Chains A and B, each alone.
Chain A
Amino acid sequence: MKIEALGLEHFYGHEKVLNGVDIEILPGSFTAIIGESGSGKTTVLSILSTLLQPSLGSVRYDGKLLHELGNIDHFRQHNIGFVFQFHYLISYLTLRENIALAALDKTLIDPLMGSLGIERLGKRYSDEVSGGERQRAAIARALINHPSVVFADEPTGNLDTKNALGVYELFREFSHSGTGFVVASHDKKIADYADVIIEMEDGIVKQIHK
């Protein structure tokens, strides 16, 4: 799915956090949005992922505006995956049940868990596995319906370097199979894995590296 954002501006109260952002996300690309705290990267990610309406500007998904996409729940379920800084796994469900909660086709759960290296943890609860394994389960939940694009907000914020690099590796691997990734991060190591790097500063796009 191609995503085009044009002239994005956004205010939190009277504070302007985006000041005219134009971004294009190509299908199946691994795009990193990097920048310091307050640069506006999370706001851009929230707008692109349909979670937030921009104060000004527009976002098109394969040429369609948000209100032209029909039921937003249905659109998200079929086209978008989310990975957050905190895994947000439901603590009373096993890792497999957490993934199953999102799954439209339950037969895909085990193969996906296998490809993420967490197949033997299916019956464990989130407090019984490591931080890296939790985030892999959260990634599996985001990928289970073969979304066109996965949005990740600081997905490695709570991980050590080894696990963080493992996550980037996974994103790159899955992007090769057609799923796009848009990742907001302040971790510059992501640059070694992403196809496109959008550098933000003070609410504008400072530079785009391809």
Chain B
Amino acid sequence: MITPIKALRKNRFKTALIFISMSVSIAAIFLISAISGGVVSMYSAMLKTDGDIIVTQKGIADTFFSDINRSLSVSIEKMEGVKEASALILGAAPVDPLPIVGIYGASENRYKSYALKQGTYPKSGEVMLGSKIYETLKKPTKIALSKKTFVVSGVFKSRIGFEDGGVVMNLTDAGELFHKSASIFLISLDDLGKSDAIVAEINSLSSEIEAKTTESFIDSYNQFKIIKTSSDVIGAMAFLMGILGIVSMMSMVVNDRKGEFGIMRSIGLSSGTIIVKLLSETLIIAILAYTVALGASLGILEMIEHADKFQGYINGEITAALMIKVFIVSVTMALFGTLLPAVYASRIDPMSLIQRGGA
């Protein structure tokens, strides 16, 4: 392992360029995956809170556009095996000076999922604010939503960024604001084993609604698929850019070191040995770049999470699975990017040492 490190130290400038190129690519993959994963994870966690089954308007692509009759929740709550049914209106509106804020109309039985830090749960004409937006808005006592003023009754803390940066009000006020009865119902069950039967029973209540287990809903939710696909595409672009960066830099490195590889061939080192030598050099850079990119990504995500500008809505998470996935991607990037130049190096004809001068 000493020789590859010595070779990297000798070619410091180009090593640094490869290192920077790889670090940027890996960090980009980390950030886009972490942020998209964080968005999906936050919204999933919000739906999963007290929600074993989720009910939406049938055929709707996005829960923000869903409109269902809230009176159905009464019938659902009476079903055998249903512990509780809560209704939610999901909306967004500007709250001066913020251009867009998540607004959640919640039935009173859902209030208990918001951990109050101060004040009381909202009554009619009142709202409670997530701690993040409360700080961002400089601890207001009133806020204006669609030309109507609401008194801030309390402040809650939520680990879910969308909620912590959002406004919660009662269902009736939210219904008037967004002109709908309810967006979704979240149903908690006594026994998860009966979920399929209860889903079928709920679906039989109305042809305009669609009930799914929350897990099944999350797996099939179109918005999550769009976010994941977009993130995969951007990640793939970063991966390709990383490979292209390595290929071009390693080609220059091989050209600079033609004499070295020619002499290796002349003393009988096999093509495989030369390829392995170059691959091990980039592997070392990849491991260093991965480490730096991981640290940088964690730092950037921490900054984003606490940046007022993002209201806590962007909350990336780097899980152990993501770390392993990106590590594999980094190593693959290094190996793929080096392979062509390495093969070229392994085929350098020692004759070139006779025909050209200089080492």
Residue B351 contacts which of A51, A89, A101 (CB distance < 8 angstroms)? Answer: A51
Binds A, one of B5-13, B166-174, B209-217, B224-232: B5-13
For B207, list chain A residues within 8 Å (CB). Answer: none
Query: Does A46 contact B354, Cβ atoms closer than 8 Å?
Result: yes
Residue B10 contacts which of A89, A92, A101, A153 (CB distance < 8 angstroms)? Answer: A92
For B357, list chain A residues within 8 Å (CB). Answer: 85-86
Q: Does A84 contact B (CB under 8 A)?
A: yes
Q: Does B99 contact A (CB under 8 A)?
A: no
Query: Does A87 contact B268, Cβ atoms closer than 8 Å?
Result: no
Query: Does A141 contact B267, Cβ atoms closer than 8 Å?
Result: yes
Residue B268 contacts which of A42, A46, A102 (CB distance < 8 angstroms)? Answer: A102
Known contacts A46-B351, A82-B266; is A92 also within 8 Å of B9 by CB? Answer: yes
Q: Does A161 contact B (CB under 8 A)?
A: no
For A93, list chain B residues within 8 Å (CB). Answer: 3, 6
List A residues 71-100 near B (Cβ within 8 Å).
73-78, 80-82, 84-93, 97
Query: Does A82 contact B349, Cβ atoms closer than 8 Å?
Result: no
Question: How many A-B Cβ pairs are below 8 Å?
Answer: 68
- The distance in angstroms between the C-alpha atoms of A93 and B4, with both chains bound, is 10
Known contacts A73-B269, A74-B268, A77-B268; is A90 also within 8 Å of B351 by CB? Answer: no
Which residue of chain B lies nearest to A144 when distances are taken between CB atoms in the complex? B267
Q: How many residues of B contact A (CB 8 A)?
A: 25
Query: Nearest-CB distance from B216 to chain A (Å)?
Result: 59
Query: Does B267 contact A42, Cβ atoms closer than 8 Å?
Result: no
Q: Does B358 contact A (CB under 8 A)?
A: yes
Residue B359 contacts which of A88, A101, A141 (CB distance < 8 angstroms)? Answer: A88
Which residue of chain B lies nearest to A98 when distances are taken between CB atoms in the complex? B263
Listed A/B pairs (13) with beta-carbon separation below 8 Å:
A45-B354, A46-B351, A73-B269, A73-B270, A74-B268, A81-B267, A90-B260, A92-B9, A92-B10, A93-B3, A97-B3, A101-B264, A102-B269
B residues lining the A interface (CB < 8 Å): 3, 6-7, 9-10, 259-260, 262-271, 349-351, 353-354, 357-359
